[in-house]
Structure 1
Amino acid sequence: MLIDKKISVLYFIRLIKWDILTIGIYAVAAGTLDHYGILKQIKIPLALSAFVGTTLSLLLAFRTSQSYERWWEARVIWGAIVNDSRTLMRQLLLYFPKSADGAEIVRSFALRQVIWCFALSESLRGIASSKKVQDYFSEHNLKSENRANLLLSRHSAELASASERFDLDANKLVQIDSTIARLCDSMGKCERIKNTVFPRSYSVLIHFLIYVLMSIMPFGLDDETPILEILLTFLVPILFITIEKTAIIMQDPFENVPTDTPMTTLSMTIERNLMEMIEHAPIEQQKAETTYYIM
Structure 2
Amino acid sequence: MLLDVKLPVYYIFKRILPDILRVLLISIIFQVLKWFFSSYLPEIPLQLATILGSSISLLLAFNVSQSYERWWEGRKIWGAVVNDSRTLVLQVRSFQQADGLPPHEAASQLTAVAHRQIAWCYSLGESLRGQDPLASLAKFLPEPELAYAKTQNNRPLALLALHAAQFRELHQRQTINTFQQVQLDSTLVRLCESMGQAERIKSTVFPANYRLLVHFLIYLFLGTLSLSLVESMGFWEVPVLLLIASTFFLIERTARYLQDPFNNAPTDTPVTAIARNVEINLKQLLQEPNVPATLTSDTFYLM
Shorter-chain TM-score category?
over 0.9
Partner of 1:26: 26
Give the counterpart of 1:250 among 254, 258, 279. Answer: 258
Partner of 2:12: 12
Partner of 1:94: 94
Question: Are 2:85 and 2:117, in contact at CA under 8 Å, matched by a contact in 1?
Answer: yes
- Provide Cα deviations, 1:132-183, integer angstroms capped at 9, x if missing partner: 3245567232212211010001010111001111342222111111001100
Equivalent residue letter for 2:161: S
Partner of 1:198: 206
- Between the two proteins, the alignment pairs up a number of residues equal to 295
Partner of 2:43: 43
C-alpha separation between the residues in 1 aligned to 2:160 and 2:245? 49
Question: Are 2:124 and 2:156, in contact at CA under 8 Å, matched by a contact in 1?
Answer: yes
C-alpha separation between the residues in 2 aligned to 1:215 and 1:92? 64
Partner of 1:123: 127
Equivalent residue letter for 1:150: A
Relative distance call for 1:215 and 1:36 in structure 2 (3 A) is farther
2:250 is aligned with 1:234:
no
Relative distance call for 1:271 and 1:46 in structure 2 (3 A) is same
C-alpha separation between the residues in 2 aligned to 1:229 and 1:173? 71
C-alpha separation between the residues in 1 aligned to 2:52 and 2:128? 38
Relative distance call for 1:40 and 1:224 in structure 2 (3 A) is farther
Give the counterpart of 2:269 among 261, 273, 276. Answer: 261
Q: What's the RMSD between the two structures over aligned residues?
A: 2.0
1:131 positional shift? 4.6
Give the counterpart of 1:160 among 158, 162, 168. Answer: 168
- Provide Cα deviations, 1:46-98, integer angstroms capped at 9, x if missing partner: 11000100110010001000000000000000000000001111111111244
Unpaired runs of 5+ residues, structure 2, are none
Equivalent residue letter for 1:231: P
Equivalent residue letter for 2:108: E
Equivalent position SS for 1:232 = helix
TM-score for the superposition, normalised by structure 2: 0.91
Give identity over the alignment, percent.
39
Question: Are 1:115 and 1:136, in contact at CA under 8 Å, matched by a contact in 2?
Answer: yes
Equivalent position SS for 2:195 = helix
Question: Are 1:31 and 1:218, in contact at CA under 8 Å, matched by a contact in 2?
Answer: no
Question: Are 1:34 and 1:218, in contact at CA under 8 Å, matched by a contact in 2?
Answer: no
Question: Are 2:33 and 2:41, in contact at CA under 8 Å, matched by a contact in 1?
Answer: no
Runs of 4+ in 1 over 4 A off after TM superposition: 38-41, 135-138
2:180 is aligned with 1:176:
no
Equivalent residue letter for 1:101: E
2:300 is aligned with 1:292:
yes
C-alpha separation between the residues in 2 aligned to 1:138 and 1:88? 20
Equivalent residue letter for 2:127: S
Equivalent position SS for 2:71 = helix
1:288 positional shift? 5.0
C-alpha separation between the residues in 2 aligned to 1:287 and 1:265? 6
Partner of 1:282: 290
1:41 positional shift? 5.1
Relative distance call for 1:41 and 1:146 in structure 2 (3 A) is closer
